[in-house]
Amino acid sequence: MDFLPVFMQLNGRDCLVVGGGEVASRKAALLIDAGATVHVRAPVLSASLQDSLAASRIQHRTGQFEATDVKGMTLVIAATDDATVNTAVHAAATAQQTPVNVVDDPDLCTFIMPSIVDRSPVIAAVSTGGSSPVLARMIRSRLETMIPSAYGRLAKMTADFREKVKARFDKPSDRRLFWERILQGSVAEMVFAGRDAEAEKIIQQTLDAPDAMQQEVGEVYLVGGGPGDPDLLTFRALRLMQQADVIVHDRLVSKEVLDLSRRDAERIYVGKERAYHAVPQEDINQLLVRLAKEGKRVCRLKGGDPFIFGRGGEEIDTLAEEGIPFQVVPGITAAAGASSYTGIPLTHRDYSQSVVFATGHLKDGTINLNWPALAQPNQTVVFYMGLVGIGTICAKLIEHGMPADTPIALVQKATTPEQRLFTGDLASMPAVVERENIKAPTLIIVGNVIKLHEKLNWYDESAYWGVESA
């Protein structure tokens, strides 16, 4: 171990930054965030340092560095592009046994500035001993995805209850078990969801209970898995998928997304296809209730977004009636994914000033929609689950005033390596679907924005089977 990881208390302490450029500004900002009194020694200050000076966040010493500048400082940072000055700063600091960091010169450092994940009061720091700052930043970026931004609030909340927990549990082992339950259970999830008052109430109720370690009801996470590309998952979705005890998933969740869930979690398939439901919706609702009442953390993983033709509202309605804790994590809906990965913007000021999402398959099996509203000019219409009814969709739009040559696109398995795009117009698309071997899941986009596809398509077409046009 080349450097001992140490967190230093700098609140109200004098610290020196030598240099007036942007690198010096960034180092000064970190010291300011740590509560230090920052002195900057430089002939000229960058614009950002001038702003900090105007806001009284730093003190400026003009002119060139002098060895006496180090006197009384808790630590020193040299951030100039002059090797002679940097060496002089190092010599002066070490002579007074003051910790010194010379940016981009590990040999002149007695301490290293790590890459920081700041969830104050929770702080994670990553260092490569100065050998590869870029690698340290990459590792920090990975940690950023794993550590929710609300961990700081959670830490402050637990600090407020520390003495009460000590008074409640005599044994350190009991205190440890209590905090493990709190920090890995529904209380933590409430804080992450911004429900701090409820979380505090549950902690207090748990402490007041005759048996504070009794089994609690589990929780359901209604998670949007996005359109297929696992890189499109949100940080929260990934975190909940990796901590759930059970994954209840649909047919539209891609294998790549499902593979990111916790390896040892139980997986229950409840997929639906047209005219065939592996598990009826009411049974799915009751399954979620049963699993949660068994104390399990349940991830209800849906393709796209749970609240856009995902029947998520029906499921959480049942959970609310049964008093089951739940949270909803939005996902990128299929329309947004298909639009982005085909270079077809859903809105554009020259072509479309509004966008409408519609389902091509109603509960009663019909597609009896508000066709006059859907056939409006300067509007993009997106149909979910419309492959089987494509003939009716095109005919009805034409019947209600939409020109027969209006562009239409059909996107199969959007955002995945199997993505395929078919373009045409309202008059020709039914024949294209009949001729080609097109399979669900598919999305239908109608509107003049499709004209922008060839110009705006950025997705590497070699990553999928091909683009076909009618």
The pLDDT tens digits of the residues spanning 382-417 come to 999 999 999 999 999 999 999 999 999 999 999 998
Alpha carbon of 281 to those of 221, 277, 312, 374, 425: distances in Å? 17, 8, 10, 29, 36
Residues recorded for the chain = 470
Q: Cis (ω within 30 of 0) for the bond into 227? A: no
| Phi, psi values for residue 17, rounded to 5° | -120, 125
pLDDT in tens, 88-105: 999 999 999 999 999 989
Active site residue 272: yes
Residue 327, beta-bridge partner list: 221
Active site residue 250: yes
Specify the DSSP class assigned to residue 396.
Answer: H
CA–CA gap between residue 97 and residue 24 (Å, rounded): 22
pLDDT for 127 equals 87
Q: Which residue has the tokens 């994954």?
A: 247
What integer best gives the mean pLDDT of the chain?
A: 89
Domains, the chain, ordered by start = 14-113 (3.40.50.720), 151-208 (no CATH), 219-332 (3.40.1010.10), 337-469 (3.30.950.10)
pLDDT for 466 equals 34
3-class SS of residue 154: helix
CA–CA gap between residue 77 and residue 340 (Å, rounded): 45
- List the structure tokens of 340: 């982005």
Contacts of 333 (CB under 8 A, 6+ apart): 224, 227, 304, 305, 308, 357
Radius of gyration of the chain (CA): 29
3-class SS of residue 341: helix
Specify the DSSP class assigned to residue 231.
Answer: G
Among 250, 296, 305, 413, the one annotated catalytic: 250
- Measured N-to-C along each axis, helices 196-208 and 151-168 cross at an angle, to the nearest 10 degrees, of 20
Residue 63 buriedness (CB in 10 A; 0-12 / 13-18 / 19+): exposed
Residues of the chain with pLDDT under 70: 210-216, 272-278, 362-366, 460-470
Other CB atoms within a 10 A radius of the CB of residue 413 amount to 21
pLDDT for 211 equals 65
